[in-house]
Structure 1
Amino acid sequence: MRRNYIEHGERYIDRPWSSLPATEFARFKTDGNRTGYETLCFNKRRQLVALVMAEVMEGKGRFMPDIVNGLQSTLEETWWGLPAHYGTKMQRAEDQNVDLFNAETAGMVAWISYVLEERLDSFSPLLRKRIDSEIARRILDPAVKNNYWWKRAGMNWNPWIASNWLTCILFCEHDDKRRAEGIGQIIHALDAFIDAYPEDGGCDEGPGYWDRAAASLYECLALLRAATGGTVDMSHEQKIKAMGSYIYKMYIGNGYYVNFADAHNNRNMQQVNVVYPFGLYLGDRTMTSFAAYTAQKARITERAATIYDRSGNWPTLGRELMMLGNINSMLRETPAEPATADVWLPDLQIMTARRGGLFVATKGGHNGESHNHNDVGSFIVYTDGEPLLIDPGVGSYTAQTFSNGRYGIWTMQSQYHNLPMINCTGQKDGKKYAARNISYTRGSLSMDLAGCYPDSAEVTEWTRSVKASSKGVEVTENYTLREHRGTTALTLMTVTRPDILCDGTIALNGGRRIAYDPKQLSVSIEDISPMLDAHLKGVWGEKMYRIVMTVKGNKTKGSIRYKVI
């Protein structure tokens, strides 16, 4: 592992440090593109962290000239945040707004100052003084002075920023009064986050954001326990335990996770460098064994420095160092892939069931969740750890993604989830559009979806039941409409081309089929591959299809049953 970190850092010796172009920053406003600037920004920070990890591992000073130059270049940047988070109140170049990546970069720089203290001071004592000054200006001062909305939020911004803010206070704030004031505000913010979280520990932002929600909360709790000599210790709190265990409860197999909401990649999304320490903190052996399994599959002893190359601001330096503090323990852990048979999260209204080679997950909830898609009642099915019926997830973020035009994006719409279109009408966004009459028994979830649709759908009841058994997954749709005004159809999403057979079945991959009544439903297949952007192709491959099962006739009341077998 040491050799891998060193060799990875050697790639960056004598490599120039890039500036971040203002014209690229401005693209978010001019054409909605945010990934161009983010790529340049994240690559620069990857370069710096790679050099730091190599120096930590080798300890001979060989990487220090490049680290010093990288730090200097980073400290000279106007703002450490991203264009998508640029505040409307920032009217002057020296204005600072605390966003996710302003905080993330500050945390990275603070960790560098901490672990390389003597080597940086041997170059010049002024460098670490400059670091302290810049961190105070960019995060410590504005975070304390301003009542930012994220301090009261129950979503990822709160702990994600707080974990980096706390790191900066502990390493770079030397005034005891200011330190106490900042930590006090952080504790109040974390209380707000924990209070807003459901008792079942479910993350309504999906497993893709658990990494920066519950996992970032863990970072805060670990730092607070260390800084207070164990006085602040929440490792035995049941809600914290539930928040940690959520991640393996949403694990499907073969690296896949349940990917409701904005999941950028539903495979291998979790970082070992936080899952293992979090599991240790909680004393959760399933979680630590799962982390060891993930580390083994990722060949962490051979590829430690590169396995996170695609995970945003790689790697969160503090997480990497905390993992390495427990590396011998992790490598002695018995690896085990979690295979929970049944999970029910009553607050989030998510069910998973594993029956033989089949895995099914379905959700209730409402359409005002964080990172929401209009997907109440949707379900996914995997067979032998491979996708069968899918949730497409989300494409590349653009200016539209978090604007009033969010639900103009096809991946957010119910007609591109495994859901009914009722009278040519899809679900509507908003918290009031919610499932009702939820009924769960092991392996079976039933709910009325009528309230998820606007009045134009003319639906008074649409009770969907999803039941998993050793024979397959059975879906029943019982419905009552006020009137028939247009086409009603059931849509199913898949990534391998289905074949419509003549006997009322649709052939899927893995030898699986959908059995339906051809007297009730007519079936067509739509190739929606041209709608995939580069990001979605990177997740699913080049192809995606929509199965449309149209209800025959104009009845206003009926019952439809189909099975995945």
Structure 2
Amino acid sequence: MRASISLPSVAACLTDIAIFSGLTLPDRAAWQSLPRAVRLALVEAADTALAQPFPQISAGLYGLFCQTGDRATFEAAYFARRRMLNAMVIGEAVEGKGRFCAVIDRAITQICDEPGWQLPAHNSQSRGGKIAPQPDPKNPVVDLFAAETAALLAVAASLVDTQLSARIDAEIQTRVLTPYLTRQFWWTGQGGGRMNNWTVWCTQNILIAALSRPAFAGLRGQIAERAGFSLDAFLAEYGDDGACPEGVYYYKHAALCLFTALDLLNTVSAGSVAPVFASQKLRNIAEFLLLAHIDGDNYANFGDAAAKMAPPDPRVYRFAKAVGSADLAHFALRAGWASDPLDISLYDRVQALFTARETAKKPSPREGFAPSIGLFVARDPVFFIAATAGSNGNDHNHNDVGSVILYKNGAPVLIDLGVETYTAETFSTARYDIWTMQSSFHNLPEFGGVMQQAGVGFDARDVRSRFTPDEALLDMDIAGAYPPEARLVSYQRRVLLRRGRGVSITDHYDGELAPIMNLILAQKPKISAGQICVGDAQIILTGAGRIEVEEIEITDPRLAASWPGPVYRARLTFSGQSLRLEIT
């Protein structure tokens, strides 16, 4: 179903409303209304940034990605620059004494002097195209962070007294707005192809840049029309259930960026986007976070997602209020929201400072089946279980069709490892050489060493789910996720939560090759006859043969943020055609 944003009405209803009305430097009332402790902390953060040397970026640093595949070294310096500028701009807006202005101008100058604002990993003129080793200033690429840099500088110029307003406007025009309006980038939806988080992430930042600066008043109509088209294309690809196809980690880059973009258009067009906020589909998109949440900072992390995520930022609360979701609003409040310290969005940080709070109540826990991505979630007071019954053809895919995640009393038992730090290999043809992407490092079987295959068509089939007061059930056949080399006719998996009694996972296969079941465990298991104990969870095995356990040391910092100690892989042979795990 295509959710309409009514493009002509957005363009026709545009006003000259300033998106930072009341927050610009000459108007001190709003900044002084912040609690004193908050103001002191913001000025202290600005002083810390002021005392640090500004990170240097060179052609050699930019070229590391093409030379070695290293993304992290350049990106550390690139993002540190922008976070330092953020801190000093907010400190100056709070204090208003001009103490930070000279250093702010030097920082802005150095960012404007960068030959390209796009990341090295994104320095391509087409989707999946060849990565150039250096940026071409005459042919700028509008990627996620070129657009975000434009938004950052536009907001900075709106909030503080800078001598560089004209240069900022010129750089934004040349590097971002003119290419956006005159060229066809894949993420705009103009040329077809599948949309993803880039569509809304880039669009929101282009809107922020364009709507923050008076210099771009004449472009508002064109930009709003193109932005509306892109948002419509993005919404059209979302299922009515609102589940994020790229996994829960990308909720903040997909659902929340969608919200910001819609909110901006609504603000400057006399509320013309209000019907979209009233739609059930948009509410479902907002509430997906509730479905994927396990407990505390734990989430069902299929795909390129971490098992532990930062508390919801204030955008979640604002999105909840916009779509009328009391549960999501209370969830955001109870989680103790905070702006992500790694985020470079100055707009989001300012919005967070001026988002009013209310008293939090306990939200209702969510469960259900999201057919658009095949996500099954069930829970009772003791167990949380999630399973994926979708496709290996999604963006940010891992080969994990049929895999399960299980927590008992908030503690992980059967886990999804997540993804390592991104490198050149992560989004290349060698992606599935990375061990965390492979089905044998998920809670899945292999057949004579043959694992699942990536791509559209490698899917679960005959999927059926049921939820009653006594139980929650998922049935599926995952044989279709394996290539012909697995010589598999069918592989039936049944996941059953019997509320108050435990969980069972029952597998039955029909094939020529004997399977080996892989179980990825959060803690070192204790093995005894027909039983695996992980923490206070007991897994009673029926139909298992030999059990081998290997320890996996976690060395990657991104994985270690969720799994700081070693994890374990148990490998089980089958004694027959079926294997049953009873978990209590």
Please indicate, yes or no, whether the TM-score normalized by the shorter chain is above 0.5: yes
Partner residue, 1:527:
551
Q: Does the CA contact (< 8 Å) of 1:253 and 1:337 recur in 2?
A: no
Query: Structure 2 CA distance, aligned partners of 1:170 and 1:425?
Result: 53
Shift of 1:334: 1.3
Shift of 1:76: 1.2
Q: Does the CA contact (< 8 Å) of 1:376 and 1:434 recur in 2?
A: yes
Shift of 1:14: 4.2
Query: Structure 2 CA distance, aligned partners of 1:480 and 1:216?
Result: 45
Partner residue, 1:235:
277
Shift of 1:205: 0.7
Q: 1:213 to 1:174 in 2, by over 3 A?
A: same
Shift of 1:561: 1.4
Partner residue, 1:419:
444
Q: In the alignment, which of 70, 80, 83 is matched to residue 43 of structure 1?
A: 80
Query: Structure 2 CA distance, aligned partners of 1:86 and 1:45?
Result: 19
Q: 1:175 to 1:34 in 2, by over 3 A?
A: closer
- Does residue 162 in structure 1 map to residue 203 in structure 2? yes
Query: Which of 398-407 and 87-96 deviates more?
Result: 87-96
Q: In the alignment, which of 280, 286, 289 is matched to residue 321 of structure 2?
A: 280
Q: Secondary structure at the match of 2:50?
A: coil
Query: Which of 395-404 and 18-27 deviates more?
Result: 18-27
- Does residue 66 in structure 1 map to residue 103 in structure 2? yes
Q: Secondary structure at the match of 1:428?
A: coil
Q: In the alignment, which of 130, 139, 157 is matched to residue 95 of structure 1?
A: 139
Q: Secondary structure at the match of 2:63?
A: helix
- Does residue 542 in structure 1 map to residue 553 in structure 2? no
Q: In the alignment, which of 137, 143, 147 is matched to residue 180 of structure 2?
A: 143
Query: Structure 1 CA distance, aligned partners of 2:92 and 2:497?
Result: 52
Gaps of 5+ in 1: 301-306
Query: Structure 2 CA distance, aligned partners of 1:176 and 1:194?
Result: 27
Q: Does the CA contact (< 8 Å) of 2:210 and 2:217 recur in 1?
A: no
Q: Secondary structure at the match of 1:174?
A: helix
Shift of 1:191: 0.6
Q: 1:338 to 1:23 in 2, by over 3 A?
A: farther
- Does residue 406 in structure 1 map to residue 443 in structure 2? no
Cα deviation digits, residues 335-368 of structure 1 (max 9, x gap): 535522x222122211111122211001111110
Shift of 1:376: 0.4
Q: 1:395 to 1:151 in 2, by over 3 A?
A: same
Q: Does the CA contact (< 8 Å) of 1:150 and 1:157 recur in 2?
A: yes
Q: Secondary structure at the match of 2:277?
A: coil
Q: Does the CA contact (< 8 Å) of 1:466 and 1:474 recur in 2?
A: yes
Query: Structure 2 CA distance, aligned partners of 1:212 and 1:259?
Result: 15
Q: Secondary structure at the match of 2:73?
A: helix
Query: Structure 2 CA distance, aligned partners of 1:174 and 1:68?
Result: 19
Q: Secondary structure at the match of 2:169?
A: helix
Shift of 1:21: 2.1
Query: Structure 2 CA distance, aligned partners of 1:387 and 1:89?
Result: 39
Q: Does the CA contact (< 8 Å) of 1:204 and 1:261 recur in 2?
A: no
Give 1:22-33 correspondences, 5 Å limit: 22-33=59-70
- Does residue 108 in structure 1 map to residue 152 in structure 2? yes
Query: Structure 2 CA distance, aligned partners of 1:529 and 1:47?
Result: 34
Q: In the alignment, which of 321, 327, 341 is matched to residue 350 of structure 2?
A: 321
Q: Does the CA contact (< 8 Å) of 1:200 and 1:348 recur in 2?
A: no
Q: In the alignment, which of 235, 238, 241 is matched to residue 197 of structure 1?
A: 238
Query: Structure 1 CA distance, aligned partners of 2:196 and 2:74?
Result: 24
Shift of 1:407: 0.4
Q: In the alignment, which of 284, 288, 294 is matched to residue 252 of structure 1?
A: 294
Partner residue, 1:303:
none
Query: Structure 2 CA distance, aligned partners of 1:98 and 1:512?
Result: 49
Q: In the alignment, which of 41, 56, 59 is matched to residue 4 of structure 1?
A: 41
Query: Structure 1 CA distance, aligned partners of 2:103 and 2:150?
Result: 19
Query: Structure 2 CA distance, aligned partners of 1:77 and 1:95?
Result: 14
Query: Structure 2 CA distance, aligned partners of 1:20 and 1:213?
Result: 29
- Does residue 373 in structure 1 map to residue 398 in structure 2? yes
Shift of 1:73: 1.4
Partner residue, 2:379:
354
Partner residue, 2:486:
457
- Does residue 81 in structure 1 map to residue 118 in structure 2? yes
Partner residue, 1:445:
474
Gaps of 5+ in 2: 1-37, 125-129
Partner residue, 2:29:
none
Q: Does the CA contact (< 8 Å) of 2:378 and 2:385 recur in 1?
A: yes
Q: Secondary structure at the match of 1:205?
A: coil
Q: 1:167 to 1:462 in 2, by over 3 A?
A: same
Cα deviation digits, residues 259-280 of structure 1 (max 9, x gap): 00001x3323354131111112
Q: 1:23 to 1:391 in 2, by over 3 A?
A: same
2:564 is matched by which residue type in structure 1?
A: G
Cα deviation digits, residues 265-314 of structure 1 (max 9, x gap): 3323354131111112112111111111122xx6x5xxxxxx622x3xx2
Shift of 1:395: 0.2
- Does residue 492 in structure 1 map to residue 492 in structure 2? no
Query: Structure 1 CA distance, aligned partners of 2:215 and 2:100?
Result: 28
Task: After the TM superposition, list the runs of 4 or more consecutive aligned residues in structure 1 that deviate by more than 4 angstroms.
Answer: 88-91
Query: TM-score, length-normalised on structure 2?
Result: 0.88
Q: Does the CA contact (< 8 Å) of 2:413 and 2:522 recur in 1?
A: yes
1:438 is matched by which residue type in structure 2?
A: V
Query: Structure 2 CA distance, aligned partners of 1:21 and 1:39?
Result: 13
2:412 is matched by which residue type in structure 1?
A: P
Q: Does the CA contact (< 8 Å) of 1:272 and 1:294 recur in 2?
A: no
- Does residue 563 in structure 1 map to residue 578 in structure 2? no
- Does residue 262 in structure 1 map to residue 304 in structure 2? yes
Give 1:475-490 correspondences, 5 Å limit: 475-481=505-511, 483-484=512-513, 487-490=514-517
Q: Does the CA contact (< 8 Å) of 2:399 and 2:438 recur in 1?
A: yes
Q: Secondary structure at the match of 2:107?
A: helix
Query: Structure 2 CA distance, aligned partners of 1:92 and 1:104?
Result: 19
Shift of 1:89: 8.5
Query: Structure 1 CA distance, aligned partners of 2:146 and 2:310?
Result: 23
Q: 1:164 to 1:223 in 2, by over 3 A?
A: same
Partner residue, 1:336:
362
Q: Does the CA contact (< 8 Å) of 2:489 and 2:510 recur in 1?
A: yes
Q: 1:542 to 1:320 in 2, by over 3 A?
A: same
Partner residue, 1:505:
531
Query: Structure 2 CA distance, aligned partners of 1:324 and 1:449?
Result: 47
Q: In the alignment, which of 301, 308, 316 is matched to residue 340 of structure 2?
A: 308
1:445 is matched by which residue type in structure 2?
A: L
User: How large is the RMSD of aligned CA atoms in angstroms?
Assistant: 1.7
Query: Structure 2 CA distance, aligned partners of 1:223 and 1:436?
Result: 41
Query: Which of 177-186 and 387-396 deviates more?
Result: 177-186
Cα deviation digits, residues 390-441 of structure 1 (max 9, x gap): 0000001010000000000000000000011123211011111110000100
Q: 1:526 to 1:420 in 2, by over 3 A?
A: same
Q: Does the CA contact (< 8 Å) of 2:313 and 2:340 recur in 1?
A: no
Q: 1:409 to 1:173 in 2, by over 3 A?
A: farther
Query: Structure 2 CA distance, aligned partners of 1:374 and 1:173?
Result: 48
Q: In the alignment, which of 44, 53, 57 is matched to residue 16 of structure 1?
A: 53
1:473 is matched by which residue type in structure 2?
A: V
Query: Structure 2 CA distance, aligned partners of 1:175 and 1:27?
Result: 36
Q: Does the CA contact (< 8 Å) of 2:495 and 2:506 recur in 1?
A: yes
Cα deviation digits, residues 230-261 of structure 1 (max 9, x gap): 12222101111111000111100021111000
- Does residue 211 in structure 1 map to residue 234 in structure 2? no
Q: In the alignment, which of 266, 286, 290 is matched to residue 225 of structure 1?
A: 266
